[in-house]
Amino acid sequence: MDIKLPDVSFNFGADATVEMIPRRLANLASYGVKRVMLDARQLMKAADDLDYLRVLQNTLRENDLVVYDVHAPHGAHDSFGFPAPEAAHLCLEMAHKAMVTAAEIGAKTITFHIARTHRVGAMADEYGVFEKAELENARARILRQLEIVLPEAERLGVMIALENLFLPSSTGEYLASIMHDMPHPNLGLNYDSGHALLLEKQPDKQSEEIAEWIRIGWDDNRVVFQDDQLDAMLPYVITCHIHDNHGKDDEHLLPGQGIADWKHIVERLRLAPRLLSIQSEVKTKYYGDEPGSQTLAFCACGFGS
């Protein structure tokens, strides 16, 4: 079924102090923005700093804005499936705090990462080397944690979205298989356009061209390029992170500044049966004192404001 794309949720910048919030949010509203998203740093500020939360909520109300989407913390032990023994408790503790805060703010979706479970010794060596931290072992840990957090998400009225990254443990197909194993009305996927582009098959694209910090998560440091990630994810996508790059590094550029085929992406997103929201996840330099100006780039690529 062809559906109208939701309004885009824009960020006002995690660098914004309490004093800067009113100006940044008023600027977004002046560009016609209705929805706001918070990254992990902003969400934790709202959880830990009552003054920050108060100013945020008052300013949202004054400008007829809502926080529609938030991102949970995504350090190694904050992500579902990380193999360190202490990680399961720490992750569940974080997830509870993040979801409670999201619900208090009124957010509808909260995005989580799947852990760096493949070659984890190379990617998170502060935790040591894990001999058996491979994909199928990760699946059981991920599913156990989801079984615990999903009833709370349902009670709080928030939707959990699992994000595609650029590792074997977070490809579109792997996440789709998690959805198959764990069907739940409060669970869906977050399609990240920039991450998908990094793994996308392209003529003459070579693994050696991909940034090293991404390659080390793959066997023999060789990225296995994928068919279009959105094809596998589309039935389960509830929200999106939209940003651009040149197919080699996670640059978080404005849409239209890289090589993403936005016409093709937008056409397919209109077919996503569960789509609730679209989020701008461009890098902080695009917020500044005029955070609303990024809306022009999104409109030019087919995303309404």
What is residue 21's three-state secondary structure? helix
The predicted model gives 283-290 an average pLDDT of 80
* Buried-exposed string 76-104: b where 16+ CB fall within 10 A, e elsewhere: bbbbbbbbbeebbeebbebbebbbebbbe
Top pLDDT among 133 and 148 is at 148
Per-range mean pLDDT, top range of 171-175, 185-189, 217-221: 185-189
In a domain, 47, yes or no: yes
**What's the domain range around 38?**
8-300
Question: Would you state the pLDDT for residue 136?
Answer: 59
Distance CA 98, CA 95 (A): 5
Alpha-helical runs (H) found in the chain: 21-30, 40-48, 50-62, 87-105, 120-123, 135-156, 172-181, 193-199, 212-215, 229-233, 262-269, 294-300
SS (HEC) of 221-240: HCCCCECCHHHHHHHHEEEE
Q: Report yes or no: 28 and 10 within 8 Å, Cβ to Cβ.
A: yes
Q: Which pLDDT score, from 0 to 100, does residue 271 have?
A: 94
Quick: pLDDT tens for 35-53.
999 999 999 999 999 999 9
Does the pLDDT value for residue 57 go beyond 60?
A: yes
Position 229 in a domain: yes
Contacts 24+ apart (CB under 8 A), 99-103: 99/72, 99/149, 99/152, 99/153, 99/156, 99/158, 99/160, 100/47, 100/156, 101/43, 101/44, 101/46, 101/47, 101/70, 102/43, 102/70, 102/156, 102/158, 103/156, 103/157, 103/158
HSE (CB half, 13 Å, CA atoms) of 213? Answer: 5
Top-confidence residue, 2 or 260: 260
Note whether residue 2 is domain-resident: no
In a domain, 96, yes or no: yes
Check pLDDT > 70 for residue 142: yes
CATH of the domain at 86: 3.20.20.150
Radius of gyration (Cα) for the chain, nearest Å?
19
In one-letter notation, the amino acid at residue 280 is S
Q: For residue 217, what pLDDT is reported?
A: 84
Burial of 4 (0-12, 13-18, 19+ CB in 10 A): exposed
Which range is least confidently modeled, 15-19, 111-115, 215-219?
215-219
How many domains is the chain built from? 1
| Residue 296 in tokens | 């022009």
Angle between the N-to-C axes of helices 40-48 and 87-105, in degrees from 0 to 180, rounded to the nearest 10:
80
What does pLDDT average to over the chain?
91
Percent of the chain at pLDDT > 90 equals 74
182 domain residue, yes or no: yes
User: Residue with structure tokens 């979706």?
Assistant: 109
With a cut of 60, say whether residue 135 has pLDDT above it.
no
Q: What residues are paired with 189 via a beta bridge?
A: 162, 237
Q: Is residue 3 part of a domain?
A: no
- What does the angle CA 27 – CA 50 – CA 158 come to, to the nearest 5 degrees? 75
Q: pLDDT band at residue 17, thresholds of 50, 70 and 90?
A: very high
The pLDDT, as a whole number, for residue 87 is 74
pLDDT of residue 298: 95
> pTM for the whole thing?
0.94
Question: Is residue 8 classed as helix, strand or coil in its secondary structure?
Answer: strand
Given a cut of 70, whether residue 119 has pLDDT beyond it is no
Of 115, 173, 122, nearest in space to 144 by CA: 115
